[in-house]
Amino acid sequence: MAQVLEFKLPDLGEGLTEAEIVRWLVQVGDVVAVDQPVVEVETAKAMVEVPCPYGGVVTARYGEEGTELPVGAPLLTVAVGEPEESPEGSGNVLVGYGTQAPAARRRRVRAGTALADGQARRPATAETASSAPVAAPAPPPAATPAPAAGPVPVISPLVRKLARDNGVDLRQLTGSGPDGLILRADVENALRTPAARAGTAGGQAPPAPATALGGRAAPAPVATSGEPSVTAPAQPARAEGAVRIPLKGVRGAVADKLSRSRREIPDATCWVDADATELLRARTAMNATTGPRISLLALLARICAAALARFPELNSTVDTEAREIVRLDRVHLGFAAQTGRGLVVPVVRDAHTRDAESLTAEFTRLTEAARAGTLTPGELTGGTFTLNNYGVFGVDGSTPIVNHPEAAMLGVGRIVPKPWVHEGELAVRQVVQLSLTFDHRVCDGGTAGGFLRYVADCVEQPAVLLRTL
pLDDT values of the chain reduced to their tens digit, one per residue, 469 residues: 678 899 998 877 655 678 888 889 999 989 999 888 999 888 766 777 888 888 899 999 998 888 888 888 999 999 987 554 444 444 444 443 444 433 333 333 333 333 333 343 444 443 333 333 444 444 444 444 444 445 566 655 567 767 777 888 888 888 887 767 788 778 888 887 655 444 433 444 444 433 333 344 444 443 333 444 444 445 555 667 888 888 877 778 778 888 999 999 999 999 999 999 999 999 999 999 888 899 999 999 999 999 999 999 999 999 999 999 999 999 999 998 888 777 889 999 999 999 999 999 999 999 999 888 888 888 988 999 999 999 988 999 988 899 999 999 999 999 999 999 999 999 999 999 999 999 999 999 999 999 999 999 999 999 888 766 5
Q: Looking at the domain that runs over 3-106, which CATH code has it been given?
A: 2.40.50.100
**Nearest of 122, 174, 173, 120 to residue 151 by alpha carbon:** 120
The strand pairing partners of 310, in sequence order, are: none
Give the DSSP H or E segment for 269. strand 267-275
In angstroms, the CA 258 to CA 442 distance is 19
| Fold assignment, 249-468 | Chloramphenicol Acetyltransferase (3.30.559)
In angstroms, the CA 167 to CA 197 distance is 6
Determine the Cα angle at 321 with ends 317 and 326, to 5°: 25
Strands 74-80 and 3-8: what pairing? antiparallel
Q: What is the pTM of this model?
A: 0.56
- What is the signed CA dihedral for 59, 64, 70, 73, rounded to 10 degrees? -20
In angstroms, the CA 17 to CA 258 distance is 19
Burial of residue 176 (CB within 10 Å: 0-12, 13-18, 19+) is: middle
Query: What pLDDT does residue 225 have?
Result: 39
CB atoms within 10 A of CB 418: 14
**Residues annotated catalytic, as ranges:** 440
**Nearest of 200, 169, 198, 199 to residue 182 by alpha carbon:** 169
Domain with CATH 2.40.50.100 in the chain: 3-106
Query: What pLDDT does residue 400 have?
Result: 86
In angstroms, the CA 375 to CA 369 distance is 5
Residues in CB range of 104: below 8 A, 6 or more apart:
none
Query: What pLDDT does residue 312 have?
Result: 96
In angstroms, the CA 399 to CA 410 distance is 10
Residues in CB range of 345: below 8 A, 6 or more apart:
334, 335, 336, 337, 380, 383, 386, 403
Contact of 262 with 401, CB cutoff 8 Å: yes
In angstroms, the CA 411 to CA 459 distance is 13
In angstroms, the CA 340 to CA 203 distance is 47
Burial of residue 222 (CB within 10 Å: 0-12, 13-18, 19+) is: buried
| Cis peptide bond prior to 405, omega within 30° of 0 | yes
Got the DSSP string for 38-57? EEEEE-SS-EEEEEES--EE
Domain with CATH 3.30.559.10 in the chain: 249-468
In angstroms, the CA 385 to CA 300 distance is 13
